[in-house]
């Protein structure tokens, strides 16, 4: 890939990320209006509302030049227009004082979920063009870390909302890999990645940074919230039996938790997260170490 193409994809990803954030704000506002009432945005009642919202303005304008050739572009456009059409119908009913039919609201939820799924597929395809997706697990690889974290740093500076990173290392994985063989070890890594993907929020990001090590990026989450969330994941992981071709496997993880602070370089923050994870591992594994002005023990092994 030449530098010009790489720069174009990076720009598309950054713009898509901002458009996704704008869409999430719109969706939250619409839900609040449907549930709580109150005055909404007149643009949502327009027949061409899908072209007036922040996402639509970008998608049908500047975004079209870089994305129109992508496989899901037409499907995203159709889902987006349908979502606004259903929203318009629901809001008009709300304004008229008529009851909102459950099946109509369910239709909005379904098309909104489909819309988000298509956007995530598009995002992953763009990352694949850059060679930034881990082929074994389908999550982002180390090459994508700096790009995504730079975006999060910009978001922190813009919104003043926190972001936390969690460095995960699977305990005693070498022994599991030796017992299972390379194929079984790969299957176990895939299962663990799927475990995390199924439990993270839609706006969280999962990376496979190397071997059996993963990085979780948790936007809008402070250290206290992250410690609670990651301890819950740690406990659930330890209680999970993964069904592999070679038989059931249980394993644990050591996790380092650090804030993403714009004051520090990203490499410094990643080193801090890895050091916290190593401390958790040296304490016996199956534990979380939170790094805040130095390491603290969020949850020791049961």
Query: What would the pLDDT profile of 223-275 be if each residue is shown by its tens digit?
Result: 999 999 999 999 999 999 999 887 899 999 999 999 999 888 888 999 999 99
| Lookup: tokens for 293 | 């002005």
Asked whether residue 107 carries a pLDDT value surpassing 90, the answer given is yes
- pLDDT at 64 (0 to 100): 85
Cα of 267 vs its chain's centroid, Å = 21
- pLDDT at 295 (0 to 100): 54
Q: Could you give the CA distance from residue 182 to residue 274 in angstroms, rounded to a whole number?
A: 25
How far apart, in Å, do the first and last CA atoms of the chain sit? 49
Beta bridge partners of 295: 291
Asked whether residue 216 carries a pLDDT value surpassing 60, the answer given is yes
Instruction: Please write the tens of the pLDDT for every residue from 137-148.
Output: 989 898 889 878
Q: Percentage of residues in the chain with pLDDT exceeding 70?
A: 95
Using 50, 70 and 90 to split pLDDT, how confident is the model at 125? confident
Every domain range in the chain assigned CATH 1.20.120.30:
3-129
Nearest of 148, 133, 139 to residue 168 by alpha carbon = 139
Using 50, 70 and 90 to split pLDDT, how confident is the model at 300? very low
Beta bridge partners of 253: 170
Instruction: Please write the tens of the pLDDT for every residue from 175-189.
Output: 998 888 989 999 999
Matching CATH number, 3-129, of 3.30.390.30, 3.40.50.2300, 3.40.50.10490, 1.20.120.30: 1.20.120.30
Q: Could you give the CA distance from residue 118 to residue 125 in angstroms, rounded to a whole number?
A: 10
Thinking of the domain 140-299, which architecture would CATH place it in? 2-Layer Sandwich (3.30)
Asked whether residue 298 carries a pLDDT value surpassing 60, the answer given is no
Asked whether residue 111 carries a pLDDT value surpassing 80, the answer given is yes
Every domain range in the chain assigned CATH 3.30.70.270:
140-299
Strand order in the sheet with 213-219: 140-141, 205-210, 213-219, 163-170, 253-259, 287-291, 295-299
Instruction: Please write the tens of the pLDDT for every residue from 20-76.
Output: 888 888 998 999 899 888 877 899 999 999 999 999 999 988 888 778 778 788 999
Average per-residue pLDDT for the chain: 88
Instruction: Please write the tens of the pLDDT for every residue from 151-161.
Output: 888 889 888 89
The alpha-carbon radius of gyration of the chain (Å, integer) is 22
């Amino acid at each position: 890939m030449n530098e010009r193409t790489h720069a174009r994809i990076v720009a598309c990803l950054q713009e898509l990320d901002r458009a996704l954030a704008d869409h999430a704000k719109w969706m939250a506002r619409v839900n609040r209006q449907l549930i709580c009432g109150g005055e909404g945005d007149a643009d949502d009642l327009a027949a061409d509302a899908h072209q007036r919202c922040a996402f639509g303005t970008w998608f049908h304008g500047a975004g079209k030049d870089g994305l129109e050739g992508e496989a899901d572009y037409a499907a995203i456009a159709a889902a987006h227009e349908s979502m606004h059409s259903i929203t318009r119908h629901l809001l008009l009913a709300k304004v008229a004082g008529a009851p909102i039919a459950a099946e109509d609201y369910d239709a909005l939820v379904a098309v909104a979920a489909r819309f988000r799924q298509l956007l995530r597929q598009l995002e992953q395809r763009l990352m694949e063009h850059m060679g930034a997706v881990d082929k074994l697990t389908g999550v982002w690889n180390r090459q994508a870390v700096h790009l995504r974290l730079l975006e999060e740093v910009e978001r922190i500076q813009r919104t003043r909302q926190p972001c936390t990173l969690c460095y995960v290392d699977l305990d005693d994985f070498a022994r599991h890999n030796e017992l299972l063989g390379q194929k079984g070890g790969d299957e176990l890594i895939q299962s663990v990645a799927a475990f995390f993907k199924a439990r993270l929020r839609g706006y969280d990001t999962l990376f496979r940074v190397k071997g059996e090590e993963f990085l979780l990026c948790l936007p809008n989450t402070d250290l206290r919230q992250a410690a609670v969330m990651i301890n819950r994941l740690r406990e659930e992981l330890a209680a999970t039996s993964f069904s592999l071709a070679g038989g059931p496997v249980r394993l644990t993880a050591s996790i380092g938790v650090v804030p993403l602070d714009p004051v520090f370089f990203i490499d410094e923050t990643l080193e801090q997260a890895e050091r916290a994870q190593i401390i958790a591992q040296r304490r016996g594994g199956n534990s979380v170490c939170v790094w805040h002005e130095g390491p603290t023990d969020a949850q020791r092994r049961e």
